[in-house]
Amino acid sequence: MAHLAGVMAAHTNLPVIGIPIKSSALDGMDALLSTVQMPEGIPVATVAINGAGNAAILAAQILALGDEALAGRLAERCKAMERAVLEKDRSVKQRYQ
């Protein structure tokens, strides 16, 4: 069903997000390529193989264009992720100094 996002995009003017799923001997590369290789006029926003988390964030970002409260929550989430990365960085540096 790797072509499903393209089929949906061909039948709507709404944004379509494709999530290639790792499900074959090709480790999902077949799904990735069939999702990103859409013909002109059939746009599909594509995230990484098994990238449902990023697809959810992308969908929220699109919706946040018209929703200030959602935009604020996304900004808070981004800051929280930044703090978590900086804390992990400090932890690694302390371990190897």
d(CA 63, CA 73): 12
Given this model, what pLDDT does residue 1 score?
65
What length does the chain have? 97
Stated pTM of the model: 0.85
CA 75 and chain centroid, separation: 16
Query: In this structure, which amino acid lies at residue 83?
Result: R
What kind and span of H or E run contains 46? strand 45-46
CA dihedral in degrees (43, 49, 54, 59; nearest 10)? 30
Number of Cβ atoms within 10 Å of the Cβ of 11: 10
CA-nearest of 13, 16, 18 to 1 is 18
d(CA 65, CA 41): 23
Task: Identify the sign of the CA torsion 24, 25, 31, 34.
Answer: negative
Given this model, what pLDDT does residue 23 score?
87
The hierarchical CATH code for the domain 1-65 is: 3.40.50.1970
Give the pLDDT of the chain (97 residues) as one tens digit per residue: 668 999 999 999 999 999 999 987 899 999 999 999 999 999 999 999 999 999 999 999 999 999 999 999 999 999 999 999 999 999 999 999 8
List the chain domain ranges.
1-65, 68-97
